[in-house]
Homo-oligomer: A and B are copies of this chain.
Amino acid sequence: MNFDLNKSIALLKRTPPALETLLNDLDEDWLYGQEGENTWSPYVVMGHLIHSEKTNWIPRLEIILSSREEMTFGAFDRFAQLNDYKDQTINELTAEFKARRNKSIEALQAKNLNAEDFSKTAFHPQLGAVNLKQLLATWTVHDLTHMAQIVRVMAKQYTAEVGPWKQNLSILRDRS
C-alpha cells in the first residue's frame, strides 16, 4: 500500500475514539497492569500518545516544511509521560488525546500538502535524513503500534488464568 494522506488521516482520526471506547471507565487492574518491570501500562501508553501529539508529529512536520537552515529534529523525551501524566483519570487522558489529535489533523489539513512537500526532508538525530511522507506514515504506524501494545499488556494480565489455552495464545509470549 502506497502512502496516501487521506487514508492516513482516516486512521489517525479513528484511533483516539477507539481507545476511548476501549479504555474509558475500565477497572484499574486492566489500566495499570504491566508486562514486566519498567514496562508501560495502558495508562502510561496513553500519556505517551499525548506527549507525542504535543511534541512530535506536527512540530516535526513544521521543521520539515520550514526553510530554516538547521532542519534537525529536537530530542524527543520517550519518558515524559511518566512525570506529566500520572494524576489524571483515564477518561481525562483519552479526552485530551482526542482533542489534541483533532487539532493536529486540522493543522495537517490546513497545510494543503502537495507531492513536492511529501519529499521534503529533515534530519532525525538517530536516523538521518527522513522525508515528510515517511513522517506521516510513521505517525499512523505509531498509533497502531501503541494500540497493539495496550491490548497485549491487557491480555497478559490473564496469562495465568487461561490455563492450558496459553499455548494457543501467542500474544501472551510476545515481548517476553
Contact = CB atoms under 8 A, between A and B. Distances in A.
Interface of A: 1-4, 7, 10-11, 14-15, 17-19, 21-22, 26-27, 29-30, 33, 124, 127-131, 133-134, 137-138, 140-142, 144-145, 147-148, 151-152, 154-155, 157-158, 161-165, 167-172, 174
A144 B154 contact: yes
Nearest to A163: B134
A148 B170 CA distance: 11
Given A2-B161, A148-B152, 14 more contacts: A1-B29, A1-B158, A10-B30, A11-B154, A133-B163, A137-B162, A141-B155, A144-B151, A145-B155, A145-B170, A145-B171, A147-B147, A148-B148, A148-B151
7 contacts: A1-B157, A1-B158, A7-B27, A134-B163, A138-B162, A141-B169, A145-B151
A147 B155 CA distance: 11
Given A22-B18, A151-B147, A152-B144, A163 B30 contact: no
Copy number in this complex?
A: 2
Contact of A141 (B14, B26, B127, B162): B162
Contact of A167 (B127, B170, B171): B127
A23 to B, nearest CB: 8
Contacts of A151: 144-145, 147-148, 151
A93 B131 CA distance: 37
Contacts of A15: 22
Contacts of A134: 161-165
Contacts of A152: 144, 148
A7 B30 contact: yes
